[in-house]
Amino acid sequence: MAFVTKLQLQPNFTWKEGDARQLNLTTRIIQPTGSVGLPFIKSKDPSKVYTLYRIELPIIGQTFPENPELDATGLSDIIILDLIAFKQKWGLLGVGPGIIIPTMQPKSISSGKWKCRFYRCCFKYKTKGLQFGVLVQQFFSVAGSSDRPDKTLCCFNPYS
Model confidence pLDDT, tens digit, residues 72-93? 888 888 888 888 888 888 888 8
- Asked, for residue 137, whether it belongs to a domain, the answer is yes
pTM of the model: 0.73
- Asked, for residue 1, whether it belongs to a domain, the answer is no
Total count of domains within the chain? 1
- Asked, for residue 147, whether it belongs to a domain, the answer is yes
- Asked, for residue 63, whether it belongs to a domain, the answer is yes
- Asked, for residue 148, whether it belongs to a domain, the answer is yes
Answer for the pair 140, 150: CB distance below 8 angstroms, yes or no: no
- Asked, for residue 86, whether it belongs to a domain, the answer is yes
Q: Which domain range does residue 13 map to? A: 6-159
In the predicted model, residues of the chain with pLDDT beneath 70 are 1-3, 35-42, 125-127, 142, 144-160
- Asked, for residue 51, whether it belongs to a domain, the answer is yes
Answer for the pair 145, 114: CB distance below 8 angstroms, yes or no: no
Scored b (16 or more CB within 10 A) or e, 121-159 reads bbbeeeeeeeeebebebebebeebeeeeeeeeeeeeeee
- Asked, for residue 102, whether it belongs to a domain, the answer is yes
Burial (CB count within 10 angstroms: exposed 0-12, middle 13-18, buried 19+), residue 63: middle
Please state whether beta strands 130-144 and 154-159 pair in parallel, antiparallel, or not at all (unpaired). antiparallel
